Protein backbone atom coordinates (compact mmCIF):
# COMPACT_ATOMS: atom_id res chain seq x y z
CA UNK A 1 0.00 0.00 0.00
CA UNK A 2 1.44 3.39 -0.96
CA UNK A 3 1.66 6.37 1.38
CA UNK A 4 -0.99 8.22 -0.66
CA UNK A 5 -3.37 5.23 -0.51
CA UNK A 6 -2.84 4.89 3.23
CA UNK A 7 -3.48 8.59 3.88
CA UNK A 8 -6.21 9.25 1.33
CA UNK A 9 -7.85 5.95 0.51
CA UNK A 10 -11.24 7.31 1.52
CA UNK A 11 -10.85 10.24 -0.90
CA UNK A 12 -11.02 7.92 -3.88
CA UNK A 13 -13.38 5.20 -2.71
CA UNK A 14 -16.24 4.16 -4.94
CA UNK A 15 -19.73 5.45 -4.30
CA UNK A 16 -22.77 3.17 -3.88
CA UNK A 17 -23.45 3.51 -7.61
CA UNK A 18 -19.98 2.21 -8.42
CA UNK A 19 -18.67 5.46 -9.88
CA UNK A 20 -15.62 7.35 -8.71
CA UNK A 21 -16.12 9.64 -5.72
CA UNK A 22 -15.46 12.68 -7.87
CA UNK A 23 -12.12 12.91 -9.60
CA UNK A 24 -14.21 15.07 -11.89
CA UNK A 25 -17.98 14.98 -12.11
CA UNK A 26 -20.57 17.46 -13.31
CA UNK A 27 -23.77 18.18 -11.47
CA UNK A 28 -26.98 19.20 -13.19
CA UNK A 29 -26.78 22.77 -11.91
CA UNK A 30 -23.82 24.19 -13.83
CA UNK A 31 -21.24 22.98 -11.33
CA UNK A 32 -18.57 20.33 -11.23
CA UNK A 33 -16.89 18.46 -8.41
CA UNK A 34 -13.35 17.26 -8.31
CA UNK A 35 -11.04 15.54 -5.88
CA UNK A 36 -7.50 16.85 -5.84
CA UNK A 37 -4.43 15.84 -3.86
CA UNK A 38 -2.26 18.87 -3.14
CA UNK A 39 1.39 18.12 -2.32
CA UNK A 40 3.18 20.83 -0.36
CA UNK A 41 6.43 22.15 -1.82
CA UNK A 42 9.60 21.01 -0.03
CA UNK A 43 10.88 24.56 0.33
CA UNK A 44 7.73 26.09 1.79
CA UNK A 45 5.35 25.46 4.66
CA UNK A 46 2.36 26.49 2.54
CA UNK A 47 -0.02 24.85 0.10
CA UNK A 48 -0.23 28.17 -1.76
CA UNK A 49 -3.85 29.13 -1.15
CA UNK A 50 -5.91 31.34 1.11
CA UNK A 51 -9.44 30.63 2.26
CA UNK A 52 -12.45 32.78 3.04
CA UNK A 53 -15.92 32.37 4.46
CA UNK A 54 -17.66 30.09 6.89
CA UNK A 55 -20.06 27.23 6.32
CA UNK A 56 -19.00 26.76 3.53
CA UNK A 57 -15.38 27.83 3.19
CA UNK A 58 -14.11 28.72 -0.27
CA UNK A 59 -10.76 29.38 -1.89
CA UNK A 60 -10.04 33.10 -1.99
CA UNK A 61 -6.65 33.13 -3.73
CA UNK A 62 -4.30 30.61 -5.30
CA UNK A 63 -0.61 31.46 -5.59
CA UNK A 64 0.47 31.15 -9.22
CA UNK A 65 2.81 28.18 -9.64
CA UNK A 66 2.24 27.03 -6.05
CA UNK A 67 1.22 23.57 -4.90
CA UNK A 68 -2.53 24.27 -5.03
CA UNK A 69 -2.25 25.85 -8.48
CA UNK A 70 -0.34 22.86 -9.86
CA UNK A 71 -2.96 20.49 -8.41
CA UNK A 72 -5.80 22.39 -10.12
CA UNK A 73 -7.34 24.35 -7.23
CA UNK A 74 -9.04 27.51 -8.50
CA UNK A 75 -10.23 30.70 -6.85
CA UNK A 76 -13.88 30.54 -5.74
CA UNK A 77 -13.82 26.73 -5.42
CA UNK A 78 -16.00 25.66 -2.49
CA UNK A 79 -14.37 23.13 -0.16
CA UNK A 80 -16.73 20.21 0.46
CA UNK A 81 -14.30 17.71 2.07
CA UNK A 82 -10.79 17.81 3.51
CA UNK A 83 -9.09 14.40 3.73
CA UNK A 84 -12.49 12.72 3.41
CA UNK A 85 -14.13 14.77 6.18
CA UNK A 86 -17.19 16.82 5.23
CA UNK A 87 -16.57 20.51 6.00
CA UNK A 88 -19.51 22.38 4.47
CA UNK A 89 -20.79 23.14 7.99
CA UNK A 90 -17.33 23.87 9.42
CA UNK A 91 -15.99 27.26 10.37
CA UNK A 92 -13.13 28.95 8.58
CA UNK A 93 -10.75 28.15 11.47
CA UNK A 94 -11.73 24.47 11.51
CA UNK A 95 -11.05 24.07 7.79
CA UNK A 96 -7.74 25.95 8.02
CA UNK A 97 -6.67 23.66 10.89
CA UNK A 98 -7.52 20.54 8.84
CA UNK A 99 -5.59 21.75 5.80
CA UNK A 100 -2.58 23.20 7.58
CA UNK A 101 -1.84 20.16 9.73
CA UNK A 102 1.64 18.69 9.87
CA UNK A 103 1.28 16.80 6.62
CA UNK A 104 2.80 17.29 3.18
CA UNK A 105 -0.40 16.19 1.44
CA UNK A 106 -4.03 17.24 1.61
CA UNK A 107 -6.98 15.77 -0.25
CA UNK A 108 -9.61 18.35 -1.25
CA UNK A 109 -13.06 17.60 -2.64
CA UNK A 110 -14.10 20.82 -4.38
CA UNK A 111 -17.22 22.25 -5.98
CA UNK A 112 -16.84 24.88 -8.66
CA UNK A 113 -18.81 26.54 -11.40
CA UNK A 114 -17.97 25.63 -14.97
CA UNK A 115 -20.24 28.19 -16.56
CA UNK A 116 -18.26 29.72 -19.41
CA UNK A 117 -17.26 33.34 -19.19
CA UNK A 118 -18.83 35.64 -21.74
CA UNK A 119 -16.54 36.74 -24.54
CA UNK A 120 -17.23 39.54 -26.97
CA UNK A 121 -16.11 39.27 -30.54
CA UNK A 122 -15.87 42.40 -32.58
CA UNK A 123 -16.18 42.00 -36.33
CA UNK A 124 -15.20 44.80 -38.65
CA UNK A 125 -16.71 44.73 -42.14
CA UNK A 126 -14.76 46.34 -44.93
Q: What is the pLDDT of residues 41-59, one digit of tens each?
A: 777 778 999 999 999 999 9
Residue bearing the bigger pLDDT, 38 or 14: 38
pLDDT above 90 coverage of the chain, percent: 52
| pLDDT of 76 over the 50 cut | yes
How far apart are alpha carbons 11 and 35 in whole angstroms? Answer: 7
Domain limits of the chain? Answer: 20-112
Write the CB contacts of 104 (distance below 8 Å, at least 6 apart in sequence).
39, 40
| pLDDT of 13 over the 60 cut | no
Q: Please give the average per-residue pLDDT across 87-114, as a whole number.
A: 90
How far apart are alpha carbons 119 and 66 in whole angstroms? Answer: 28
How far apart are alpha carbons 83 and 59 in whole angstroms? Answer: 16
Give the CATH H-level superfamily of domain 20-112: PDZ domain (2.30.42.10)
Record the pTM: 0.70
What are the angstrom distances between the C-alpha of 65 and each of 36, 58, 59, 70, 99?
16, 19, 16, 6, 19
Burial (0-12, 13-18, 19+ Cβ within 10 Å), 114: exposed
82 close to 8: Cβ distance less than 8 angstroms: no
Reported confidence tier of residue 15, pLDDT bands at 50, 70, 90: very low
Amino acid sequence: MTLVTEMFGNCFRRSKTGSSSGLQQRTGSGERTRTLVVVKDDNTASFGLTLSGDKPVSVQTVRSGGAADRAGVREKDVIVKVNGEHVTNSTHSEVVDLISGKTQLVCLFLLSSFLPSRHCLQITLE
